[in-house]
A = this chain, B = another copy of it.
Amino acid sequence: MVDVTAKSVTQRSAVAHAFVKMSPRVLAAMRKLENPKGDPLEVARIAGISAAKRTSEWIPLCHPLPLTHIDVHPTVCKNGVEIRTQVTAAAQTGVEMEALVAAAAAALTVYDMCKALDKGIEIAELYLVEKTGGKSGDFRRDDRRHKNRKDQVTKRSPKR
């Protein structure tokens, strides 16, 4: 485990992304809320938030961090569900893994909710979008790399 004892506490944030590729048929079924398990996007949101808080249990060498904000934002697009997460903390190390874990858990939950309709659903583009804070400086991914998402059709309720 990296020793962060001597680092100073600074404000950290990270944004991560995941994309759940889905066929129009599955997307349509999902949007009609006919799923017997509940609203997939809301369950995915909760799953992402819950997982982010426990990142240091999933990822062996992550430090436990006192997160002050976790936002998991799923959006229905023409060809799938885009997950965007944001995590914030005042800490001695960054929250990149927390944002990525939230995105992964949310995406896997969408899969779980829809797998009865299509077991072939693929999760792709799980990556860090940006981070701020810390000595290594800020990072911002080149947006042109986003290749899967087509025009989104449904905006979820405003940010929470």
Write the residues of chain A forming the contact surface with B, with a CB cutoff of 8 angstroms. Answer: 1-5, 7, 11, 33, 36-39, 42-43, 45-47, 49-51, 53-54, 56-71, 88-90, 92, 96-97, 100-101, 104-105, 107-109, 111-113, 115-116, 119-128, 131, 136, 139, 141, 145, 157, 160
Contact of A5 with B53 in the complex, beta carbons under 8 Å: no
What is the predominant secondary structure among interface residues of chain A facing chain B? mixed
A68 in contact with B105 given A42-B39, A113-B61, A126-B123 (CB within 8 Å): no
* A49 / chain B contacts, CB cutoff of 8 Å: 1, 60-61
Contact of A64 with B66 in the complex, beta carbons under 8 Å: yes
Number of copies of this protein chain within its complex: 6
Among candidates B45, B101, B115, residue contacting A96 with C-beta atoms closer than 8 Å: B115
* Separation of A120 and B100 alpha carbons in the complex (Å): 12
* Separation of A76 and B39 alpha carbons in the complex (Å): 18
Contact of B1 with A71 in the complex, beta carbons under 8 Å: yes
Please list 24 pairs of residues, one from A and one from B, whose beta carbons are closer than 8 Å in the complex, sorted by A's number.
Answer: A1-B70, A5-B88, A37-B61, A38-B42, A46-B46, A46-B60, A49-B61, A53-B63, A54-B57, A58-B108, A59-B112, A60-B109, A65-B66, A66-B66, A68-B92, A97-B115, A100-B108, A104-B104, A115-B128, A119-B128, A119-B139, A120-B127, A123-B126, A123-B127
